[in-house]
Structure 1
Amino acid sequence: MEGVRYVTDEAGKRVAVVLDLKTHGELWKDMEDVLVSHSRKRERSIPLEEARAELIRRGKLDG
């Protein structure tokens, strides 16, 4: 596949991939979004209105 190179270990097993971002930049952005989403699954979340109120209270957002 053009724009894709594989890194292999001593046994020839693929252990990593190098993507040409000019060719596959959009694909990488999509993959990165998925990875970030998965990494944040266990983080505490708060409702939008609660976050908005906190930002207003801190002076970071106009109310």
Structure 2
Amino acid sequence: MRGIQFLVNEDGEKTAVLLDLQEWGDLWEDFYDILVARSRSEEDTVSWSDLEAELDQENATNGAV
């Protein structure tokens, strides 16, 4: 494929990939978003009401309107 290069180890196994971001930049952003989401899948979740309360508290503490 144009704009894609693979790094291989001594055994010829693919170990890394190099993407031409001019060619594949939009796709890379989607791929990266998926990687970030998967890396955070085991993190604790926060309910919307708890997040709102926390933000309200921070805003009150910092004097924001």
Range class of TM-score, shorter chain: 0.7 to 0.9
The CA deviation string for residues 15-60 of structure 1, in whole angstroms up to 9 with x for no partner, is: 1100011110111111111111111111111111210111111116
Structure 1 residue runs of 4+, over 4 Å off? none
Greater share of helix: 2
Amino acid at match of 2:9: D
TM-score by length of structure 2 reads 0.84
Can you give the 5+ residue segments of structure 1 that lack an aligned partner in the other structure? Answer: none
Residues matched between the structures, number: 62
TM-score by length of structure 1 reads 0.86
* Residue 12 of structure 1: how far off its partner (Å): 1.4
Residue 38 (structure 1) aligns with:
38
* Residue 13 of structure 1: how far off its partner (Å): 1.3
Residue 58 of structure 1 aligns to a residue whose secondary structure is helix
Residue 22 (structure 2) aligns with:
22
Can you give the 5+ residue segments of structure 2 that lack an aligned partner in the other structure? Answer: none
